Amino acid sequence: AQTVTQSQPEMSVQEAETVTLSCTYDTSESDYYLFWYKQPPSRQMILVIRQEAYKQQNATENRFSVNFQKAAKSFSLKISDSQLGDAAMYFCAYRSEAGYALNFGKGTSLLVTP
């Protein structure tokens, strides 16, 4: 089974600053997909960004970008120009090409201070 580790239970960032959330995963597969989801207090799980393992180029979505290091099995999320609305739990998730499940980490709680 694949495991996803988020080593930072909590992170804090000032508004307009940049923060990086860490994620590592363990797998023996070569084809898989990685995701970052955001869960605000409303509890809705919202997709932030996704990365296909076969792509070398790091995914970017506006202020959100990833640093995907396949050999190191690392998938960090960088949030630039942080906004108060970015405050939430952030979950890293892994999905294999063949499996049904998203395997989630335990999450990182991001606090954004004015």
Partner 1 sequence: ETGVTQTPRHLVMGMTNKKSLKCEQHLGHNAMYWYKQSAKKPLELMFVYSLEERVENNSVPSRFSPECPNSSHLFLHLHTLQPEDSALYLCASSLGTSGAETQYFGPGTRLLVL
| Interface contacts to partner 1, rule CB under 8 A | 4, 31-33, 35, 37, 42-47, 50, 52, 91, 95-107
> Rounded to the nearest 5°, which phi and psi values hold at 12?
-130, 145
**Cβ closest to partner 1, residue 81 vs residue 106:** 106
The identity of residue 26, as a single letter, is: D
DSSP 85: G
> Please, are residues 10 and 109 in contact by the beta-carbon 8 Å criterion?
yes
For the bound state, the minimum distance from the C-beta of residue 35 to partner 1, rounded and expressed in Å, comes to 7
Nearest by Cα to 111 from 91, 92, 84: 84
For the bound state, the minimum distance from the C-beta of residue 32 to partner 1, rounded and expressed in Å, comes to 6
For the bound state, the minimum distance from the C-beta of residue 87 to partner 1, rounded and expressed in Å, comes to 18
Strands 64-69 and 60-61: antiparallel
**Cβ closest to partner 1, residue 40 vs residue 111:** 40
**Cβ closest to partner 1, residue 32 vs residue 75:** 32
For the bound state, the minimum distance from the C-beta of residue 42 to partner 1, rounded and expressed in Å, comes to 7
